C-alpha cells in the first residue's frame, strides 16, 4: 500500500467524524441513565439504536472519499484510515444493530432489557472502531481494554428475571412450567451463580491476556523506542536490526499474539468461551462473537501488513506459527462441537472452528494470493448473516424456556418454517452451496492451494490443505446435527407446542436474511474471477 502521513490539522477531524459522533452520543446516553426510570428505558434504547444506525449511514456515505489501496496516517501517526478498516467499521455497526434486534427478544412478558446494556453496547462499538484505526501500541491497548470491559459487563448483565426488572416472586407467578415456586426460585439462584462464576473466569483470564499484550508491547517499545507500529517494523526490517534482537522481537510477538488470540477464542486459548456463551444472553453472545473479533482481525491485518517487510526467517516463523494455530483451531473446534448437546455450547465451539478458517485466510492473505482483503470481508459478511438467524431463534426459545438450558434436542418442537430457516443458517455455516458459507470455504481452500503451489517444497502448506479438508468435512458432519434433530429425530414425536413458536416478524426477517445470503453469494463470486 502507499502510505501517506499527515500531522494534526482540521482535516483530521473529518477522518474521525464517525468516532467523535459516537463519543457525543455515548455521553448523551450515559447522562440519560440519570433520568427517571420510566423515561430511561425508552430514551436510552432509542438513542443508542438510532446512533448506531446513523453511524452506519455515515460510514457508508463516506466510503467513496477513501482512496483505494492507500493508508493515510493522521494525528501524528496515532491513527490510520484505509478502505479495509472502513469496511470493517461498517460490519461492526451492522453487527451492533443485529445484537439489539436479538436482545429485544427478551422484551416480552415484562422482561425488559436494562438500559445500561444499550449504553455498554454503544461503548463497545466506539471502542472497536478506535481499535480498528489505532496505529499506535498505546491506542491499541487502551481501545482493546475498553472493548474487553464492555464485554465483561454485557455478560454480567444477563439473568432475565433478576436483572431485567422482573422480581423472582413476580416471575414465579407468570411461569406455568414450574409446579413448585421454591424450585423455580432455586433455579433462578443457580442460574445467577453460574453467571457470576463464568463472568469472573472470563474477567480473570481476560486480565491475564491483557497483561501479556501489554508486556509484549513493552518489549517492542524497548526494542525500537517508538509506540508507532510502522516505525517499530521499519526498525526491525532495517539493516541496524541484529540477530540478537530477533529473539526479543519474537518474544514480544508471542505475548501480543496471546492477547489477540484470546479475544478470538482460538486454540489453545478457547477455554473461556463455552461457559460464557452458555450463560450470557443471545444478544451478548452475538456481540462477543462478532464485534470484538472483527476489530481484532482488523488490527492483526494492519500488523501483518508490515510483517511482510521483515526478513524471510522472521516471516517464516510468524506466518508458520499462525498457520498452525488456524489449522488446529479449525479441526479441534469441530471435534469439540460434535459432542455438544447444549445449543449455545455447540455454536460456541463451532465458532472456534470458523475462527480457524479466518486465521488461515488472514495469514495467507499476504503470501502470493490475489484474494486480498476481499476474502476477509466476505467471510465476515456471511458469518454475520448466518449467525444472526441462529442467535435470534435461540433468544426467542430462551424467552419461552425462562432460563432453562437450551438443548439441541429441544428444537424438535419447533414449527416447520423455523426448522427450515435454522437448518439453512446452519448449512450456510457448514459451507453448503449455493449459500454464502460455501463461497467462504472455497476462498479459504483456493488461497491455501495457491500458497501451496508457490511453496510446494514446504510441507506446512500441504498440511494446511489437508487440515482445511478435514475441518470442512467435520464441519459438514456436526452442522448436519441441527437439521437431523429438527427433522429426522422428530418424525415420531408429538406436534409442535405453542410455547416454541417463533414470532412472525422473526420469521420474515430471517427469510429476508437468507435471501440476501444467497444473492450476495452469487454476486461475490466475481471476486474469484
Question: 151 near 131, Cβ under 8 Å?
Answer: no
Cell of 442: 472455497
% of the chain beyond a pLDDT of 90: 27
Question: How does DSSP classify residue 71?
Answer: E
Among 349, 44, 389, 77, smallest CA distance to 228 is for 77
Question: How does DSSP classify residue 176?
Answer: S
In angstroms, the CA 369 to CA 467 distance is 19
DSSP string, 265-291: T-TTS-TTHHHHHHHS-HHHHHHHHHH
Higher pLDDT, 124 or 401: 124
Res 181: pLDDT: 53
Cell of 452: 501451496
- Count how many Cα atoms sit within 13 Å of the Cα of residue 64 in the half-sphere of its side chain: 2
Q: How many residues does the chain have?
A: 529
Question: 100 near 49, Cβ under 8 Å?
Answer: yes
Among 284, 288, 346, smallest CA distance to 475 is for 346
Question: 115 near 39, Cβ under 8 Å?
Answer: no
pLDDT grade, residue 106 (50/70/90)? low
In angstroms, the CA 465 to CA 476 distance is 17
Res 88: pLDDT: 94
pLDDT grade, residue 457 (50/70/90)? confident
Name 305's bridge partners. none
pLDDT grade, residue 156 (50/70/90)? confident
Res 122: pLDDT: 94
Res 453: pLDDT: 80
Name 71's bridge partners. 3
Q: Whole-model pTM? A: 0.89
pLDDT tens, position by position, 493-527: 444 444 557 888 888 998 999 999 888 888 877 65
- Residue 40 neighbours by CB distance under 10 Å: 17
In angstroms, the CA 213 to CA 254 distance is 9
Cell of 50: 438510532
Res 15: pLDDT: 79
pLDDT grade, residue 329 (50/70/90)? very high
- DSSP three-state, residue 134: strand
Name 72's bridge partners. 4, 81
- DSSP three-state, residue 136: strand
Question: 96 near 287, Cβ under 8 Å?
Answer: yes
pLDDT tens, position by position, 241-300: 666 678 888 888 999 999 999 999 888 888 888 888 888 888 899 999 999 999 999 999
In angstroms, the CA 156 to CA 168 distance is 18
Chain-centroid distance, C-alpha 286? 7
Residue 454, pLDDT > 50, answer: yes
Question: 411 near 343, Cβ under 8 Å?
Answer: yes
Residue 238, pLDDT > 50, answer: yes
**Residue 72: φ, ψ to 5°:** -105, 130
DSSP run (H or E) holding 106: none
% of the chain beyond a pLDDT of 70: 83
pLDDT tens, position by position, 158-175: 544 444 334 444 444 444
In angstroms, the CA 270 to CA 205 distance is 11
> Helix 282-307 to helix 246-264 angle, to the nearest 10 degrees?
160
Strand pairing report for 79-81 and 2-5: unpaired
Question: 158 near 195, Cβ under 8 Å?
Answer: yes
Res 526: pLDDT: 64
Question: How does DSSP classify residue 228?
Answer: B
Cell of 161: 428475571
Higher pLDDT, 332 or 190: 332
Task: Specify burial of residue 242 (Cβ count, 10 A radius: 0-12, 13-18, 19+).
Answer: exposed
Res 163: pLDDT: 40
Q: What value, to the nearest 5°, has the Cα angle with vertex 201 and ends 200 and 202?
A: 90
In angstroms, the CA 340 to CA 216 distance is 35
**Residue 71: φ, ψ to 5°:** -110, 120
- Count how many Cα atoms sit within 13 Å of the Cα of residue 180 in the half-sphere of its side chain: 5
Q: Which residues contact 94 (CB under 8 A, 6 or more apart)?
A: 56, 384
DSSP string, 382-450: HHHHHHHHHHHHHHHHHHHHTT---BGGGGGGS-HHHHHHHHHHHHHHHT-TTSHHHHHHHHHHHHHHH
Amino acid at each position: 500500500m502507499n502510505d501517506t502521513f499527515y500531522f494534526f490539522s482540521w482535516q483530521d477531524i473529518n477522518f474521525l467524524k464517525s468516532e467523535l459522533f459516537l463519543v457525543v452520543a455515548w455521553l448523551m446516553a450515559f447522562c440519560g441513565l440519570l433520568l427517571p426510570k420510566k423515561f430511561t428505558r425508552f430514551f436510552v434504547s432509542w438513542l443508542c439504536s438510532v446512533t448506531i444506525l446513523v453511524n452506519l449511514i455515515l460510514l457508508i456515505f463516506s466510503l467513496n472519499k477513501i482512496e483505494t489501496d492507500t493508508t493515510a496516517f493522521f494525528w501524528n501517526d496515532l491513527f490510520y484510515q484505509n478502505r479495509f478498516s472502513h469496511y470493517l467499521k461498517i460490519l461492526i455497526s451492522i453487527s451492533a444493530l443485529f445484537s439489539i434486534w436479538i436482545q429485544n427478544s427478551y422484551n416480552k412478558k415484562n422482561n425488559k432489557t436494562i438500559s445500561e446494556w444499550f449504553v455498554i453496547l454503544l461503548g463497545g462499538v466506539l471502542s472497536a472502531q478506535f481499535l480498528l484505526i489505532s496505529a499506535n501500541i498505546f491506542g491499541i491497548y487502551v481501545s482493546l481494554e475498553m472493548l474487553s470491559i464492555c464485554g465483561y459487563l454485557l455478560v454480567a448483565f444477563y439473568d432475565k428475571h433478576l436483572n431485567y426488572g422482573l422480581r423472582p416472586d413476580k416471575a414465579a407467578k407468570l411461569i406455568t412450567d414450574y409446579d413448585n415456586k421454591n424450585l423455580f426460585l432455586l433455579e433462578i439462584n443457580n442460574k445467577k451463580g453460574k453467571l457470576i462464576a463464568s463472568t469472573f473466569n472470563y474477567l480473570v483470564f481476560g486480565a491475564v491476556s491483557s497483561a501479556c499484550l501489554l508486556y509484549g508491547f513493552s518489549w517492542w517499545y524497548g526494542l525500537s523506542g517508538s509506540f508507532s507500529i510502522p516505525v517499530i517494523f521499519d526498525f526491525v526490517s532495517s539493516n541496524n536490526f541484529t540477530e540478537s534482537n530477533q529473539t526479543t522481537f519474537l518474544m514480544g510477538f508471542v505475548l501480543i499474539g496471546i492477547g489477540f488470540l484470546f479475544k478470538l477464542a482460538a486454540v489453545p486459548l478457547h477455554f473461556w468461551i463455552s461457559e460464557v456463551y452458555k450463560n450470557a444472553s443471545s444478544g451478548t453472545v452475538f456481540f462477543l462473537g462478532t464485534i470484538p473479533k472483527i476489530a481484532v482481525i482488523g488490527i492483526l491485518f494492519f500488523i501483518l501488513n508490515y510483517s511482510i517487510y521483515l526478513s524471510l526467517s522472521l516471516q517464516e516463523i510468524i506466518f508458520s506459527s499462525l498457520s498452525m494455530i488456524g489449522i488446529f483451531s479449525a479441526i479441534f473446534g469441530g471435534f469439540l462441537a460434535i459432542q455438544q448437546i447444549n445449543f449455545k455450547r455447540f455454536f460456541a465451539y463451532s465458532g472456534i472452528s470458523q475462527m480457524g478458517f479466518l486465521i488461515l485466510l488472514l495469514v495467507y492473505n499476504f503470501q502470493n494470493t490475489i484474494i486480498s482483503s476481499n476474502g476477509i470481508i466476505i467471510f465476515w459478511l456471511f458469518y454475520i448473516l448466518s449467525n444472526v438467524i441462529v442467535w435470534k431463534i435461540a433468544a426467542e426459545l430462551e424467552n419461552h424456556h425462562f432460563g432453562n438450558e437450551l438443548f439441541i434436542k429441544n428444537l424438535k418442537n419447533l414449527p416447520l418454517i423455523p426448522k427450515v430457516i435454522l437448518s439453512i443458517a446452519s448449512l450456510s455455516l457448514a459451507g453448503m452451496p449455493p449459500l454464502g458459507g460455501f463461497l467462504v470455504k472455497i476462498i479459504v481452500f483456493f488461497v491455501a492451494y495457491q500458497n501451496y503451489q508457490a511453496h510446494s517444497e514446504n510441507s506446512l502448506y500441504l498440511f494446511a490443505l489437508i487440515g482445511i479438508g478435514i475441518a470442512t468435512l467435520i464441519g459438514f458432519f456436526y452442522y448436519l446435527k441441527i437439521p437431523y434433530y429438527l427433522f429426522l429425530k422428530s418424525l415420531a414425536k408429538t406436534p409442535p407446542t405453542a410455547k416454541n413458536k417463533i414470532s412472525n416478524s422473526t420469521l420474515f426477517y430471517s427469510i429476508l436474511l437468507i435471501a440476501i445470503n444467497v444473492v450476495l453469494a452469487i454476486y461475490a463470486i466475481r471476486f474469484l474471477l
